[in-house]
Structure formats: C-alpha cells, structure tokens
Amino acid sequence: MEKIVVKIKIPAAGLPTHRSLHVAQLLLLVSRQILYPPGPGHDVSVTLKRKTREVLIPSSLCTILRVWCAKQGITSGCIFVTRSGRPVDRSNVLHWMKSLADDANVDRSKIFPHNLRHLFAVNYYENEKDIVRLADLLGHSSINTTRIYTMTTREREQNSVDRIAALLLTGT
C-alpha cells in the first residue's frame, strides 16, 4: 500500500505555487492543517500517488471547516469521515454526487467528482482569463492539457465573436 503524506507547507520567500485539489486530495486534509495553520495563509501541501500539490485553501472554507470541526468535536485526524469513523474516500463522494443527481433529475452517467475540478477551471478561466495561471493552479505542466478544461461550446464562441463584432462596428 502506498504511503500518503499530508503536511503543511510554510510559504517561502517569493511566489508560492498553489494548485487546485483533486477530490481525493481534499479528503486527505487533516484537522491540524485547518485548526492550526502555520501562518496567515492556508497553504497546504498534499502528496498522493507520488505527486505533491501545493494548494491555497480559501480563508472562508477554513472558517467553515473550523466550525464543522468544533461541532463534530474533531481535534485531530481526518476532517471528512464516514459514520463508522473511517476516512471518506472518492467512492463515498461519487455515491453522494450520484444520489444528488437522482434528486435533481440529472443523468447519473454525467456525474463524477472530477466534474468539480472542471467547474473550478471553467469558472476561473471565465473570470480571470489567465490560462497560464490556471495551468499552474491545476498542476498542469502543459497549457494544452489546461485547454481541455476551458473549451466552450460553439454557441458560446459565436456569441463572443458577435459581441466583439458589434463593438467594432459601433465603435463603442
């Protein structure tokens, strides 16, 4: 069985590299990372399958998780556990997402935890328009991989072209 290491990364001088988490990595967060951060930021280093990702956890999420830990009496160990106390894994999240899909009358075959990563990527790109930074956040070594996350529908592309053409034609 492969050893999984979860540790806090204390930000060094310069610009730290932050990445978005895979669901499996989020589930590895342990309470000490959220309850006792080493500094003002929430820069967490998560290692899974021999790959380390450095992730900046939003302060608002840390606040929510601290409240959750307090309500659940969690002072150590994993934050996300099943009723039996075992750490939640990707299959638990998949099951919950499929159940929510049923409740919302969404096709179960379209629902996967990785969709959350795509949702983050699409929203980040739509708001920031910075594919280089997005590639860094996602941990991609190639922007070509990141482009897959940012592809839009032909209809959206046509709307963008039409909007730019209207600006050019009206001069405003």
Asked whether residue 55 falls in the same domain as residue 125, the answer is no
| pLDDT at site 37 | 65
The token pair that represents 44 in the structure block: 């967490």
SS3 55: strand
Asked whether residue 69 falls in the same domain as residue 129, the answer is no
Asked whether residue 73 falls in the same domain as residue 117, the answer is no
Contact 18, 55 (CB under 8 A): yes
Contact 142, 148 (CB under 8 A): no
Asked whether residue 121 falls in the same domain as residue 61, the answer is no
Q: Which domain holds residue 40?
A: 1-80
The answer to whether residue 11 sits within a structural domain is yes
Domain count along the chain: 2
Phi and psi dihedrals of 20, rounded to 5?
Answer: -85, 150
What is the distance between the alpha carbons of residues 60 and 125, in angstroms, rounded to a whole number? Answer: 21
Asked whether residue 20 falls in the same domain as residue 72, the answer is yes
What is the distance between the alpha carbons of residues 151 and 133, in angstroms, rounded to a whole number? Answer: 16
pLDDT tens for residues 36-68? 665 555 667 666 667 776 677 777 888 888 888
pLDDT tens for residues 99-158? 988 999 999 998 888 888 888 888 888 889 899 988 888 878 889 989 887 777 677 788
Asked whether residue 121 falls in the same domain as residue 62, the answer is no
